[in-house]
Amino acid sequence: MAQLYTKIKLYLEANSKTWDAEEDNIKLQNDGSGDYIKSWNVSGLAKPTDDQIASYNSTATTEDNNNVIRRTRRLAYGDIGDQLDEIYKDIDAWKARIQGIKTNNPKS
């Protein structure tokens, strides 16, 4: 199931808005029964209804899953300096290793 954070992020993007962490314009809270919007202060955009948030379930689930895959790939790729050294020594071996990582960790 998609995270509320991701669904809100998609709702904001669809309405040409952003989540401004510095201004703390949106606060989420979890009282033990799940995340909810504690406060909403986005200029020019009303707080989304439950139905509006639910409409992003599928897209948000895909986004959350892809974020997990991106993190997994990033760890498997290793340090950029080591990758550059590997490319210099044997670019074909590097290409094969990277392709293997992508094949084993496909995005949705």
Q: What DSSP element (H or E) covers 77?
A: helix 57-77
43-58 per-position pLDDT tens digit: 899 999 999 999 999 9
Mean pLDDT throughout 82-95?
96
Mean pLDDT throughout 4-29?
89
Look at residue 19 in the predicted model and tell me its pLDDT: 84
pTM of the model: 0.74
Rounded Cα distance between 48 and 92, Å, is 50
Residues 6+ apart with CB under 8 A from 37: 4, 8, 26, 27, 28, 47, 48
Look at residue 23 in the predicted model and tell me its pLDDT: 72
40: which strand partners?
26
Q: Is the pLDDT of residue 36 over 70?
A: yes
